[in-house]
């Protein structure tokens, strides 16, 4: 099913697919959430998982992909969802509303599926690794692919460059829950040819650059997706998270190519 309007905020939609491995009809239903990148091809992402379902562990799956439109506030800003918060919009809350609607209205379940596999590549990779900071208890396993911008675990840098002030920014009851994060297996993936310089937009960096330099920002974040993936991996390793990094030889920036890798990672945990 495609382009289902979200009841709690009709500006947003989601799509979903159901997949059942032969002979596994009685197995519990698992939820897999796949978040689009800047091109916003939510349906294409789901089709990629349908085509690579044989790489998943045998079982029953509901695969959900949200659609977060560009310029939702009329300002042409395409990046808002990647940072989870855009004026009065909380994208984490929207995702959980979609999961609730999928479970109760579309699938007629008695309750929400409490945890889920989470996939994000490129802009989706930005969304999912920041969602992990806020809600690790909801995530069974996490795939983070080639984000163009990263948030490191650091009290030295304010959100979104680091995690300082995260509790206030999102009105959380607690701060970063490293103990919960350590329980979640994580795969990071990037191509060794994903080396085009990534320049942050002025809107995304104006707070940092008001008191520091572009060189300082590059030192924290790296200059391209390959560097940034290594920086985030090393940061999470130092924090004691259960994370692995896969660098694909010859691969540039191609989200469709990595779906089999993500599916195989999720299958390895079954």
Q: The pTM is what? A: 0.96
Alpha-carbon torsion (141, 146, 151, 154), positive or negative: positive
User: DSSP 3-state assignment of 179?
Assistant: helix
pLDDT digits (tens, 9 = 90+) for 186-235: 999 999 999 999 877 776 777 777 777 778 778 778 999 999 999 999 99
Total number of domains in the chain: 1
User: Angle formed by the axes of helices 202-209 and 214-221, to 10°?
Assistant: 110
Nearest to 95 by CA among 84, 79, 106, 110: 84
Alpha-carbon distance of 196 to 59, in angstroms, equals: 39
The pLDDT assigned to 68 comes to 98
User: DSSP 3-state assignment of 232?
Assistant: helix
The pLDDT assigned to 227 comes to 97
- Domain at 50, CATH number: 3.40.50.1820
Relative to beta strand 29-35, strand 13-20 is: unpaired
**Tokens read off for 58:** 């045998």
CB 38 within 8 Å of CB 122: yes
- As a whole number, the mean pLDDT across the chain is 94
**Tokens read off for 38:** 């800047």
How much is the average pLDDT of 133-148? Answer: 98
Alpha-carbon distance of 270 to 37, in angstroms, equals: 27
Size of the chain in residues: 270
Q: In terms of residue numbers, what domain contains 22? A: 4-268
pLDDT digits (tens, 9 = 90+) for 82-91: 999 999 999 9
- Burial (CB count within 10 angstroms: exposed 0-12, middle 13-18, buried 19+), residue 149: buried
């Amino acid at each position: 099913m495609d382009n289902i309007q979200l009841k709690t905020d009709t500006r947003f939609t989601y799509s979903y697919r159901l997949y059942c491995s032969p002979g596994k009809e009685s197995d519990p239903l698992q939820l897999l959430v796949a978040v689009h990148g800047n091109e916003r091809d939510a349906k294409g992402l789901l089709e990629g998982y349908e085509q690579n379902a044989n790489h998943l562990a045998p079982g029953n799956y509901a695969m959900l992909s949200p659609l977060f439109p560009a310029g939702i506030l009329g300002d042409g800003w395409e990046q808002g969802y990647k940072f989870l918060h855009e004026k009065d919009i909380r994208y984490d809350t929207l995702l959980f509303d979609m999961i609730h609607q999928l479970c109760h209205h579309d699938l007629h379940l008695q309750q929400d599926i409490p945890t889920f596999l989470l996939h994000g590549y490129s802009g989706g990779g930005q969304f999912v690794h920041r969602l992990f900071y806020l809600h690790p208890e909801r995530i069974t396993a996490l795939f983070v692919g080639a984000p163009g911008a990263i948030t490191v675990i650091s009290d030295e840098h304010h959100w979104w460059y680091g995690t300082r002030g995260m509790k206030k920014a999102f009105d959380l009851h607690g701060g970063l829950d490293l103990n919960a994060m350590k329980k979640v297996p994580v795969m990071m993936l990037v191509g060794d040819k994903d080396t085009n310089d990534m320049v942050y937009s002025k809107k995304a960096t104006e707070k940092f650059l008001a008191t520091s330099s572009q060189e300082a920002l590059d030192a924290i974040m790296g200059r391209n997706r390959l560097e940034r993936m290594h920086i985030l991996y090393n940061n999470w390793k130092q924090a004691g998270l259960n994370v692995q990094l896969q660098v694909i030889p010859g691969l540039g920036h191609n989200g469709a190519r990595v779906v089999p890798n993500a599916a195989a990672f999720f299958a390895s945990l079954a």
